[in-house]
Each structure stands twice: as structure tokens, then as C-alpha cells.
Amino acid sequence: MLDLKVIVQNALKTGTAIPAFNVPYLPMIEPVIRAVVDHNSFALIETARIEWIRFEAGGPEAVAKEFFRWQVADHVRLHLDHIPVHDEDRQPIDYLAIIRRAIDVGFSSVMVDGSDLSLDENIFATRRVADLSHTLGILCEAELGSVLRHEPGLFPPYDEFFASGKGFTIVEEARQFVDQSCCDWLSVAIGSVHGAISEAYRDHKKISARLDLDRLKSLAQVARVPLVLHGGSGIPQEYVLAAFKKGIAKINIGTEIRQVYELAMQSSGRISAAQDAVYEHTSWLIQEYLGLSNIQPIVTEEIA
């Protein structure tokens, strides 16, 4: 079994990607893993700080405990998503302490989110995490630019947002950021949008986002590390598959499977029914939408 860094590099070299599924509810973990295994695929199971603040993930320890009940090492690893430097009220977070907790319980990779900071501040925060994680053999993901959240009342009309390029990753900054931060993967902002997390809007259908593929190609050329697409739910398939060929080697999927789980729980009141719904939709995502069934070669042998 290859090191995770090699697996993601293999995905980059072959123009494919590793899906990373967010699990805001612990019972989602088992059906997601089962779908990945049944389709002979490979994926990351991930949790973000917001998913134990606003939902029911419970924190890195709870997610790890449930993950290791079901994990199949040839098919899944555990990733810590979005640990911000500041919270939603701009108050500082002890992000290093949270990341240490995740590493201690078995996470294979971690993400620090300094996207709301200046370039120099983001580099500094990311370098702190990279130094810590690399000492322990753990990969570090960072974000440059800002992938916005789909929150009605806060978000401009999508066409206006896309045309403005507001918050999109600046190509000229990407090389400096990667060189000085020492991150292993870089999340870039190229038009995708995070799902809504507020109680009033989190069950709304996501915006059908587009991707600035020309910017992505330029970012890949200067960054020279695997790039990550956050806010992967709801993007037309042709953009997603094209992005895999232009530098995206990891794609985060959260809203699609979360909403399926919540809808099934609301309609049936049974966790088992919600798990069945998650399994079916994750299977569809892997096989039909992402085209990532039978990707085991990138997991078993290093590709030159």
C-alpha cells in the first residue's frame, strides 16, 4: 500500500482525482466506506471543525473512532478538513492544538485554513502546521484564495461573482505560497462554492457553479503540487472532469451526501434508511459523476 502523498501524486499524473467525503454525521462513515470499497475506488473520509460545531460529527476523536471501526486501508484514509485560524466571528482559534489532536488519533493528513489572512500571515500559519505535520509524517493541505459559502443574503448573484473573480486564487501568489509554506496540497478558489451551513438555508439546492479552467491550468503550472477543489457538490460534470486533467487531484464532496442523509432521516426517522441513501448516492457519485471506480492502480504502484 502506497504512502498517501504518492497516491495523490499518482492521481495528478494520471489526470484523475481522489474524492474526499465530508461526514457531518457519524453514521455516514460506514456507508461511504462501503461504497468506496464496493466500487474498487479510493477516497478520503474527512471532517471539518464546522461539522462538529454546526452538525453532529463530534470532533476529530469521535470521527476517528467511528472511522477505524470500518476502515479498509487499501481504500480509505482519514483527513482533517478546514481548521481555520479564526472562527466565524473573527476570533482566534488554537488551530495547532486541534491539528495535534487529530494527528494523535490517526489522521493521515490535515488542513489549515488561513484563507482569510494576508498572504504573509497565511504562509506563516501554514508553515507552522506543515512543520508540525511533516515531523510526524503527516501531509498538510492549505488554501490560497477564498472559496465562498453559499449563504443567501450574503452571496452576490453567481454570474456577477464569477465575472468579478472576487476571492479567486491569484496565480502570481501561488508559487511563493507553496515554496514558503511547504504545503503538500493546495486548495484553490476558481469558482466553486461551499454549501450553506446556516440552519435556514442548509437544505437548499446548491448553486450550479462553474470553474475558471484557464486560471486552474495556470495555477497548476506555477504551484507544482496537487491542487484541491473544495465545494465539489453541484458543479456540472464537464467542469469537474476537465479540472481533473488540469491539476485538481483531490475533490471535496459534502453537501450532496449530507442532504441525502438528512432528507432520508426526516422522511423515515431511521438511521439505517439514511445510511442506505448515503450508500446509493455515494456509489452514484463514484461511478457515474466522478468516474472514479476501479482506480486501484494509482493506490498500488508508483506512477512515473
Residues known to be catalytic = 81
Annotate 158-195 with b (16+ C-beta within 10 A) or e (fewer). Answer: eeebbeeeeebbbbebbeebbeebbbbbbbbbbbbbbb
- Spatial CA neighbour of 151 closest among 109, 195, 115: 195
Alpha-carbon gap, residue 237 to 235, rounded angstroms: 6
Q: For residue 48, what are the CA distances in angstroms to 55, 81, 84, 129? A: 10, 4, 9, 16
Q: What percent helix, strand, coil does the chain show, rounded to 5?
A: 45, 15, 35
What sign for the dihedral angle of Cα 93, 25, 143, 112? positive
3-state DSSP assignment of residue 14: helix
3-state DSSP assignment of residue 248: strand
The DSSP symbol for 176 reads: H
What sign for the dihedral angle of Cα 21, 220, 167, 140? positive
- Spatial CA neighbour of 191 closest among 172, 167, 157: 167
Alpha-carbon gap, residue 151 to 154, rounded angstroms: 6
Q: Are 299 and 7 in contact (CB under 8 A)?
A: yes
Alpha-carbon gap, residue 109 to 129, rounded angstroms: 11
